[in-house]
Homo-oligomer: A and B are copies of this chain.
Amino acid sequence: MSIEVLREEFAQTRARSIADCAPLELEDYTLQAAVFASPPKWHLAHTTWFFETFLLKPFVANYKTPNTQYEVLFNSYYNGIGQQHPRDRRGLLSRPGLATVLDYRRHVDEAMAQLLESELAVQNTAIGARCHLGIEHERQHQELLFTDIKYSLAANPLYPAFRSGIPERSSVGPVQWLTFDPGLIEIGHGGQGFSFDNEHPRHAVFVQPFEIADRLVTNGEYQAFVDDGGYQRPELWLADGWATVQDQAWKGPLHWVDRGGDGDRGREHLEFTLHGLIPRDEASPVCHVSGYEADAFARWAGARLPTESEWEWMCQETGEQSSGRDSSDLLHPRSSVGCGACFGACWQWTQSAYGPYPGFRPSDGAIGEYNGKFMSNQWVLRGGSCVTWSSQARPTYRNFFYPQDRWQFSGIRLAR
């Protein structure tokens, strides 16, 4: 990316974070309903901290931070930088107030603008690369901002709406199965364009023959699983998944709300969305399921989850790209129609444990903590959701969450 484009993308990305938050009430900015759901204000500050920590402090000799305590307060998990404010106490930071955090953003934006226009930025390519990483990092947090605030607002019995305009629904038609022969393929990022370290190196993998569904599992199909006693039948579940079902008393996907009726009859089937509580659409992809639920559903359906190699091959074969950004609000539009429907509706659980590709090397220094240290106990998700920034909806992108996590927009694609 040229330095000019970088400056432009930097400015747009930074502006978009503010714009995304606009519909929030001031009291929402500090809200944190679970350890994993950071408050909007914290996202705004942390993404700023990232530029300050990895660009301004190392590369700008006379850079002065507005508050030395921010180094700890807004560090997410970089032990190489130092201590971190406890993750489960981010919602207790009523101060600095929003106005002060916005001042912090402006302060850093101005210093960044100067840096990007300096001679140094032209000479030292590390600056451009780091800045690009910071932009992609902020885009990831823009997605998290949506998932986190959705989770945190759902903790309020008033079920408040955040905003309209997010296409959480997208009806799909009957499923088709795409067929693949065995073969030695290559996966991982190998070409131009931005990528994270965990997408490297591109390498050969031998894949057995498989079939894969051309669209995601729907709310209606998942309801059939629930109605068939899916949450009461241990034989459908991984042992750890079944323990989680018991422990968390799960009865259905997160954000499904059933109410009224007499027993199971006549119950109203709703779901909580960023627009508030609305009727569930049977034909839209089921969302907010954990990896365990995805796996159990697949077993019930006589299928299984795809591996990440299978998913990436499918994507290569169907030639699908994410359909680009939506100019009106910068949100990624769902491309849920297509050979593979790879991107847009929901992240798609794979059965692949998140681990290093053969020959993987994390970046040097604290920035090497970005991806590598999470390579245990998590599962890979592929694709992208209705709140994913378009540039990240690429075939090689590896998202990862614990199999019990379900506050992301995560759904199910079947393989067999």
Contact = CB atoms under 8 A, between A and B. Distances in A.
B156 A240 contact: no
A248 to B, nearest CB: 16
A347 to B, nearest CB: 18
Contacts of A156: 92-95
The main secondary structure of chain A at its interface with chain B is mixed
A204 interface: yes
A91 B32 CA distance: 9
B238 A94 contact: no
B69 A157 contact: yes
A377 B240 contact: yes
Interface in A53-103: 69, 72-73, 77, 79-80, 85, 89, 91-98
A203 B209 CA distance: 12
Given A30-B27, A92-B33, A184-B206, A80 B158 contact: no
A27 B25 contact: no
Contacts of A175: none
Nearest to A238: B376
A87 to B, nearest CB: 11
Contact of A25 (B97, B208, B241): B97
Interface in A145-190: 152-153, 155-158, 160, 184
Contacts of A240: 374, 376-377
Interface of A: 25-31, 33, 41, 69, 72-73, 77, 79-80, 85, 89, 91-98, 152-153, 155-158, 160, 184, 203-208, 234-235, 237-242, 291-292, 295, 304, 307, 351-353, 355-356, 358-359, 369, 373-377, 379, 403
Top 8 A-B residue pairs of the complex, sorted by shortest distance between their CB atoms: A353-B353, A79-B234, A27-B94, A208-B358, A206-B206, A239-B373, A28-B94, A95-B160
Given A73-B158, A93-B156, 11 more contacts: A27-B30, A27-B98, A73-B157, A204-B208, A205-B206, A206-B206, A237-B373, A238-B375, A240-B376, A292-B376, A352-B355
